[in-house]
Amino acid sequence: MANTGLSVWFHKKIVDPLLQILRRGAEPKLLAFSAAVGITLGLFPICGVTVFLCGMAIALLGSNCHAPTVMLANFIATPIELSLVVPFLRFGELISGGSHFPLTSDALKKVLTGQASREVLLSIAHALLGWLIAAPFILAMLYILLLPCFKILVRKFSVVPSSPKKPLHSHSEVKLKEIDTCSGCIQAEISY
């Protein structure tokens, strides 16, 4: 029974939005890049900041990214983000040569009582450093892996041509049928 609930949630939150994105006919390269950006920013090691980062990326990249894909990929990356905080922390410590932040119950007590504020800030800085160094490689790897996937998915699910050079129907022509003088609308008939 719980499996059914999870399946419904998965379809409603991930599969259905992905199908809507694919049916709109965006370019596979744009979708792959946007998904790679969304996942890479979604792995940022400070929880709660990723949506803001994705919004900034969408604003900066403009038409070079597909906003719904960035946000969906960010949403999908959330569980992965939580599992990669410690590896990013350790990678940052390794790169900077810093001491290991202990992940023990005693360290947690110090953090909760405010006795380890300097260590916590240093560990956040190490995690950020680890992510900053890994992010370009993650972005490139995801783009390379996602591009063939999106080529297949767009070809399979798109109802709109993926390129403006390809017409929707090869032999379509538009004929004006009539002008509705009351509303000023032009009605058109498409014949094949």
- Please write the tens of the pLDDT for every residue from 163-172: 555 444 333 3
Mean pLDDT within 17-37: 89
The 10s digit of each residue's pLDDT in 118-151 is 777 888 899 999 999 999 999 999 999 999 999 9
Mean pLDDT within 39-60: 93
Band the pLDDT of 2: cuts 50, 70, 90: low
Residue 122 pLDDT: 87
Residue whose C-alpha is closest to residue 67's, from 35, 110, 42: 35
Q: Does residue 176 register a pLDDT over 50?
A: no
Token digits of residue 19:
């199908």
| pLDDT averaged over every residue in the chain | 80
Q: Does residue 59 register a pLDDT over 90?
A: yes
Percent share of the chain, pLDDT over 90: 44
Residue 163 pLDDT: 55
Q: Between residues 118 and 81, which one has the greater pLDDT?
A: 81
The residues, any chain, with a CB within 8 Å of residue 53's CB and separated by 6 or more, are 41, 44
Q: How many CA atoms lie within 13 A of 75 on its CB side?
A: 13
Mean pLDDT within 88-97: 92
Cβ pair 112, 73 in contact under 8 A:
no
Residue whose C-alpha is closest to residue 58's, from 70, 48, 50, 45: 70
Residue 173 pLDDT: 39
Q: Between residues 86 and 100, which one has the greater pLDDT?
A: 86
CA 33 to chain centroid: 9
Mean pLDDT within 147-176: 65
Residue 50 pLDDT: 92
Mean pLDDT within 91-105: 85
CA–CA dist 153, 54 (Å, integer):
23
Residue 106 pLDDT: 75
pTM attached to this predicted model: 0.74
H or E stretch covering 97: none
